Structure 1
Amino acid sequence: MVHIGDLPEDLLLHLLSLVPGRDLIRNCRLVCSQWRDLVDVPTVWRRKCQWEGFLPRGQDRSVPNWKMFYFLCLKKRNLIKNPAAEAGLKHWVTIVHKDDEWNIKDLPGVDGREFPLPHVQKCFVTPLYWRSTKEQYIDLRKEGYWAELMDETKPDIVVKDWYIARYASGCRYTLTVQLLAENSMILETFEVPKEVIRQWNDAEWHEITHTFHNYPSGVRYIHFKHGSRGAKFRLNRYGVCVTNSGVTIGPEMAPRVGKETAPLTSSVLFGALGSNLEALTGRSAGFIPDNA
């Protein structure tokens, strides 16, 4: 029977690159000093990114830390819950005046304008006359972004939002995004300049996007708030419509073109080599938090 120690290092390096990243850190890295050193080699993580289609986008494709790049790509997703009104107003806290309320409309529903992305089927509609907003607070630790990751790596935080106004209705679109510390102190803010939409406007969808780069250490929460304030009174809900909001954390990636391969878990790897995972590791690593 082949023993792990008999494998050529190049072959072992290749096998380790096929193991899921969490298994590499929590199990494989604890086997012995040789495996620890191999798991820490950038080649393993670069190969994992290539196999799984995680590649940097743009002309500058240099990656200073392939392991961190891999985990950030693996985690990357929209942190805004219910961004396109598919679940009504669930997950959103709304602030309105008196009996006003946000509404949900099917698309196309604003002067018949199609949304640029076909998978988006609904939008939120604000009351027109008074200032109306809705907001979400994102707890980064609950989403798997632990303190050391945010403070040492400071991955880009990308904010996106889409809005449109009725052709015959003037109003104002607002968006404010704040990076907050543990004590809710504001560390950095992005705010859309006063965006007044004139009556008889183009009634086209507009995208707002902003990237937080090299922000201060200590970011633990993200506060996302958007809405509108009407410029003219109407009895119907003719304020700004918003949808497809987004907050993502991590590097900009090229379109995924990774190979389709079955994952090689650490248990399968050890089993194939006639070894016992628990006997080799003796414990599970705490390098990556359980919710990561």
Structure 2
Amino acid sequence: MSAVDWRKKCEAEWALQAAAMPDGVDWKSVFEARPLDRNLLKNPAPFGLSKDSPPPEPELSEVPPHGPPRFQPDGDFTGWSTSTEVLPYDTSSIPEGVVVCALPQFSWFTLEQVVDLKAEALWEQLLDDFQPDIVIQDWYEESQLHASIYKLHVKLLGTDKTTVISEHSVSPTEDLSTYSHIWKEVSHVFSGYGPGVRYVHFQHQVKNSFLNDFFPTRLTGSAVIVKPVKSGP
């Protein structure tokens, strides 16, 4: 099949008649890579859970394990860079003179990943001129551990990986008055972001708690999807 035929297949696959499709692109590789309408994140469910099933209820031991403090959850974090920040004890709400036997200690667990858009077979003219929508999705467990248990920060970066062309942050506050142990969706669409985007830096954080036993907050369904549409200006 000729280069022109492969370009036409790509054009038909994603209805990209309005996007620049120059001759210098390897359209066979683009078609086989299918960079549009698929999740570009690696290992989007590192805790081995699906948003289509309810989060598992915590398993409480009849006898507290009394082991050393633990601050990082179990999971397969292949493809992610991870780090843990142990937070100091919060004693602000304890009245003066009250004796407290034990307090929960919280930690933030951070997972981040950088998507190289050109390495995923997206071409410069598409990113710079057409500027397709870049859709961000994530699901986190409403763990009831704290009023703040989840943060998301996504940046669209230039060629040098440091220039921020557009960014989006989310830090919701949880309602602890009712028990709602469900998956909660977070999403955002980058559109009309301007030329120069080459990388997507995806970072999310979940809060964990330790009090005799370890209680995590988990994630699933993380996604970065470039859509063959343009909804921005």
2:215 counterpart SS class: coil
3-state DSSP of counterpart to 2:140: strand
CA distance in 2, matches of 1:239, 1:45: 43
| Aligned counterparts of 2:181 and 2:113: Cα–Cα separation in 1 | 27
Q: Retained in 1: the 8 A contact 2:19–2:129?
A: no
What is the aligned counterpart of 2:85 among 97, 117, 123? 97
User: Could you tell me how far 1:172 is from its partner in structure 2?
Assistant: 1.9
Give the drift of 1:153. Answer: 1.3
Task: Please state how far the C-alpha of 1:67 moved relative to its aligned partner.
Answer: 7.9
Deviations, residues 33-87 of structure 1 (Å, cap 9, x unaligned): xxxxxx88xxx877x44xxxx57xxxxxxx752786x979943211100001258
Provide closer, same or farther for how the CA distance between residues 239 and 198 of structure 1 changes in structure 2, counting only shifts above 3 A: farther
Cα offset for 1:28? 5.4
Q: SS state of the match for residue 196, structure 1?
A: coil
1:233 Cα shift? Answer: 4.8
In the TM superposition, what whole-angstrom CA distance separates every residue of 1:234-281 from its partner, at most 9, and x where no partner exists?
3433232111100011236xxxxxxxxxxxxxxxxxxxxxxxxxxxxx
Percent of paired sites with the same residue: 28
Instruction: Verify the 8 A CA contact 1:179 1:188 in the aligned structure 2.
Output: yes
Following the alignment from structure 2 to structure 1, what is the Cα–Cα distance between the partners of residues 180 and 211? Answer: 19
Which amino acid in 2 is paired with 1:97?
E
| Deviation per residue, 1:83-122 (Å, 9 max, x gap) | 0125811011001036xxxxxxxxxxxxxxxxxxxxxxxx
Aligned-pair RMSD on alpha carbons? 3.3
Alignment of 1:144 with 2:121, yes or no, is yes
Unaligned runs of 5+ in 1: 1-22, 30-38, 56-62, 99-127, 253-292
1:160–1:235 CA distance, 2 compared to 1 (3 A): farther
Q: Partner of 2:200 in structure 1?
A: 222
- Where do residues 196-215 of structure 1 align in structure 2 (5 Å cutoff)? 196-199=173-176, 200-215=178-193
CA distance in 1 between partners of 2:174 and 2:211 (Å) = 15
Aligned to 1:79: 40
Residues 1:88 and 2:93 aligned together: no
> 1:175 & 1:153 partners in 2: Cα distance?
26
Q: Report the count of equivalent residues.
A: 173
Question: In 2, distance between residues paired with 1:248 and 1:97?
Answer: 29
Matched, 1:174 2:151: yes
Alignment equivalent of 1:162, drawn from 127, 139, 144:
139
> Using the alignment, how far apart are the partners of 1:219 and 1:176 within structure 2?
16
Which amino acid counterpart does residue 222 of structure 1 have in structure 2?
V
AA at the equivalent of 2:189: T
* Pairs within 5 Å for 1:242-253: 242-251=219-228
Over 3 Å counting, the alpha-carbon distance change for 1:220 and 1:148 in structure 2 is same
1:227 positional shift? 1.2
User: What displacement does 1:209 show?
Assistant: 1.1
Q: Deviations over 1:202-239 (max 9, x none)?
A: 11111111110010211111000001235x65343323
Deviation at 1:165, TM superposition (A): 2.4
Q: Distance in 1 between matches of 2:130 and 2:216?
A: 40
The structure carrying a bigger strand percent of its residues is 2
Q: Which secondary structure state, in structure 1, belongs to the residue aligned with residue 214 of structure 2?
A: coil
Structure richer in helix, relative to its length: 1
TM superposition outliers: structure 1 runs of 4+ over 6 Å: 70-73
> Partners of 1:226 and 1:211 in 2: how far apart?
16
Q: 1:153 aligns with which of 130, 139, 151?
A: 130
- Which amino acid in 1 is paired with 2:35? K
Partner of residue 115, structure 1: none
Q: 1:27 to 1:154 in 2, by over 3 A?
A: closer
Which residue matches 1:131?
Answer: 108
Report the Cα distance in structure 2 between the residues aligned to 1:196 and 1:236, rounded to whole angstroms: 24
Give 3-state SS (helix, strand or coil) of 1:130's partner: strand
**Counterpart AA for 1:83:** P
Q: Is the contact made by 1:45 and 1:66 (CA closer than 8 Å) also made in structure 2?
A: no
Checking the alignment, whether the CA contact within 8 Å between 2:19 and 2:130 is kept in structure 1 is no
Contact residue 129 and residue 234 of structure 1 kept, 8 A: no
